[in-house]
Structure 1
């Protein structure tokens, strides 16, 4: 009985050795060419295996430092006469981390105003936040200009005007605008064009 087991083991070893010598097929089922090319016959293989192409990197976007420079002439015309970054509204302009806060509004007005914050935010946290706004607060989100934009409007709780919020994220930059009774046409689009185009 031991002779039979030894014979079977030897037969299996022989089959495995023969299988290793059989010609290999390519991934498409075709056998490799039987005629070697010059690089195979002239000594050691000097061909390099292909390396993966580098992922194209996108240059980081610098945060802006001027609230007027990021707007088009048309949008600035719509904001004509409205004070920018009045001290009555608190800190504005460029913060210690580079974040730009632009506050358009007259401190004497009851509700009319617009505040935009442009800051750095990584993709994961940004998309988590935008998804939460869509899922939990009814924001409409879409993907224009190579980024993600979410927006929503609602009636002001005290005055007969419209309030709203518009967010745009792209390349680790978040543009977040909250407004009440002041929504210049093309405002966010002008900022996007200034930063990314």
Structure 2
């Protein structure tokens, strides 16, 4: 649960505890109306946060080609990107994704972290991408993949992809989620 959501719930609890329901004087009604209005506004923000957390998450069927389309849309909006993937299998030869990543590689705006060098990773490295492997961590099999948009810049965003109940989910985090955006392991590999 986010700290903003906890704060909003705390505001509602505080307002409800201050409301005096036992009196009907005009002054008390004005204060109570103000407090009830505050509760309504805070409730709206809580519902908005819950909607964002639960419903705005990007959902795809496993191996859905729309995953690559979504990632390309995000990559086009970003400058330098870092992609942490097992084998970047979502990039197929001649695809829009490959063309976009070749452009990023040529512009020195692409960093790849892969288990081992695949043919597409080598092709991107030949075009200027910085490619690192994590194969030295024997037995390491990441359960999620992530992409850092605007890598090493203020305002960077992180897309984290993972499987859950037969779906491929992608969560997006921005600078307000410092613990996630400041990925220490990315710099360690």
| TM-score relative to the length of structure 1 | 0.28
The structure in which a higher percent of residues are helix is: 2
| TM-score relative to the length of structure 2 | 0.29
